[in-house]
Amino acid sequence: MTKRKLIGPFRQLLTMANLPDRGPLKDEQLEIIPEAGILIENEKIIAVGSFKVLKQKHPKVSKEIIREDMVALPGWIDAHTHICFAGSRAKDYAARNNGKSYLEIAKAGGGIRSTVLHTRAAEASKLFDLTMQRLDRHLKNGVTTVEIKSGYGLGVEEELKQLRVIKQADQKHAADVVSTCLAAHIIPNEFKDATSYLAQVQAELVPRILNEKLTHRFDIFIEDTAFTPEIAKPYLSFLREKGFQLTVHGDQFSRGGSQVAIDCGAVSVDHLEASGEQEIKALAQSKTIPVALPGASIGLGCSFAPARKLLDAGCALAIASDWNPGSAPQGNLLAQAAILGAFEQLSAAEVFAGLSFRAAQALQLFDRGTLVSGKMADIIAFPTEHFSEILYHQGMLKVKKVWKKGQIVE
């Protein structure tokens, strides 16, 4: 049986529709419906418009009346996280802020390798609980779609364990989860070189992933301390031939990763803190979407990705949290995006686009990210009468209501 309902009135509803896929945006371009209603049928939006008009047109439909000032937007989409992990890296964080370098911390047993040890040691059920708790927090904050990477297993069985947990979280949690295999995060201790490790991933892990349908996406961390561009290219070409969607951790500390991402047809390249004019130009001429990860800049005390320049050059720009125990432990996507906006002079339209339809493009999800007829009814509402309050409070104006596929979840 089809279930219809009308939600509203919202003081303002930002559809995030009818905006260009790429390039700069001004707040004047935002499509804002005052005193708005949303008509939903099952999981989808079937109409958006004046609440009064929709009520007159559909007098018998059930109503969810909003009794306070609220601004509605599409549910946020976090296109890059590592929230399937165990353990804490608080000691690394403190050591960094006491003057230790990343390399010194790694040598003392910290860094990604320490999270690998904790994640390998954790039972799958424990890892599942931890992932679900983090998804709960994200959903409470309005994040209705979350990408989660593996990459703390770094071995066939260990990566499979993480990917199965991520799949189970997708099945059990109200939020939608998009899983990505990041077996190529760093070279695990068991291997002497990248080539032999990636050969094992290709020969043993990839067939198991295909067999169990665990993910359709792969990622690689391109950096001298992880995988070089020369090593990354044949690996990504192999995965592309197998039909996987590709994404890349690129240009975080040194350049080179973004060009590999472009050459290999990756859907996105994420980080870009080290990108220069040449990388920005190349990205603007490509289809690869740049993803800024302000949470990693805040966590590591580094500069932000050149978001303003990327947009002005004509790129789409998605903004994601990178939530992980090392570089980005905070995990508050809205706060991070607001702070990036303040440092990089991004309009609210550009920030909201980066968290909605442009983030959806980075994940190749075309059924969400705007509030228009036919899209998934993922809706968030902030307790305010004007959208400008949302970023102004830098994450402290909390989402009051969240609908996932038309159902109220918060």
- Verify binding: residue 322, Fe ion, rule CB under 5 A: yes
Selected range binding ligand NIG among 65-73, 319-327, 363-371, 392-400, rule: CB under 6 A: 319-327
Selected range binding Fe ion among 239-247, 280-288, 317-325, 377-385, rule: CB under 5 A: 317-325
The DSSP symbol for 303 reads: P
Helix (H) or strand (E) holding 50: strand 44-50
Nearest approach, Cβ of 111 to ligand NIG (angstroms)? Answer: 7
Site for Fe ion in 149-168 (CB under 5 A): none
Whole-number Å distance between alpha carbons of 175 and 145 = 6
- Point out the residue whose Cβ comes nearest to ligand NIG: 326
CA distances, 158 to each of 85, 115, 183 (Å)? 12, 13, 9
Tokens of 176: 């939608």
Phi, psi of 184 (to 5 degrees): -90, 60
| Residue 252 contact partner, candidates ligand NIG, Fe ion, none, CB within 5 to 8 A by sort of partner | ligand NIG
- The CA-based dihedral angle spanning residues 222, 223, 228, 232, taken in that order and rounded to the nearest 10 degrees: -10
- Verify binding: residue 112, ligand NIG, rule CB under 6 A: yes
Shortest CA distance to 305 belongs to which of 286, 320, 291?
291
Nearest approach, Cβ of 166 to ligand NIG (angstroms)? Answer: 16
Residue (248 or 355) nearer to ligand NIG, CB: 248
Whole-number Å distance between alpha carbons of 293 and 85 = 19
Selected range binding ligand NIG among 50-58, 324-332, 368-376, 390-398, rule: CB under 6 A: 324-332
- Verify binding: residue 273, Fe ion, rule CB under 5 A: no
Pairing relation of β-strands 44-50 and 32-41? antiparallel
Whole-number Å distance between alpha carbons of 13 and 49 = 9
Residue (82 or 405) nearer to ligand NIG, CB: 82
Site for ligand NIG in 113-132 (CB under 6 A): 115
- Verify binding: residue 322, ligand NIG, rule CB under 6 A: yes
- Verify binding: residue 218, ligand NIG, rule CB under 6 A: no
Exposure on the CB side of residue 309, measured as CA atoms within 13 A:
15
The dihedral of CA 262, 268, 273, 277: what is its sign? positive
| Residue 325 contact partner, candidates ligand NIG, Fe ion, none, CB within 5 to 8 A by sort of partner | ligand NIG
Residue (223 or 322) nearer to Fe ion, CB: 322
Nearest approach, Cβ of 169 to ligand NIG (angstroms)? Answer: 18
Task: Give the angle subtended at the CA of 295 by the CAs of 30 and 87, to the nearest 5°.
Answer: 140
- Verify binding: residue 404, ligand NIG, rule CB under 6 A: no
3-state secondary structure of 90: helix
- Verify binding: residue 221, ligand NIG, rule CB under 6 A: yes
Among 36, 45, 75, 82, binds ligand NIG (CB under 6 A): 82
| Residue 259 contact partner, candidates Fe ion, ligand NIG, none, CB within 5 to 8 A by sort of partner | none
| Residue 154 contact partner, candidates Fe ion, ligand NIG, none, CB within 5 to 8 A by sort of partner | none
Whole-number Å distance between alpha carbons of 280 and 45 = 36
- Verify binding: residue 327, ligand NIG, rule CB under 6 A: yes
Contact track, ligand NIG, 279-298, x by CB under 6 A:
-----------------x--
Helices 156-172 and 112-121 cross at an angle (nearest 10°) of 70
Tokens of 200: 């094992």
Among 252, 332, 347, 361, binds ligand NIG (CB under 6 A): 252
CA distances, 55 to each of 17, 35, 46, 66, 129 (Å)? 23, 12, 14, 14, 42
Cis ω for the linkage preceding 207 (within 30 of 0): no
Tokens of 318: 């998605």
- Verify binding: residue 249, ligand NIG, rule CB under 6 A: yes
Count the residues of the shown chain that bind ligand NIG, applying the rule CB under 6 A: 13
- Verify binding: residue 158, ligand NIG, rule CB under 6 A: no
| Residue 161 contact partner, candidates Fe ion, ligand NIG, none, CB within 5 to 8 A by sort of partner | none
| Interface residue list for ligand NIG (CB under 6 A) | 82, 112, 115, 221, 249, 252, 296, 322, 324-328
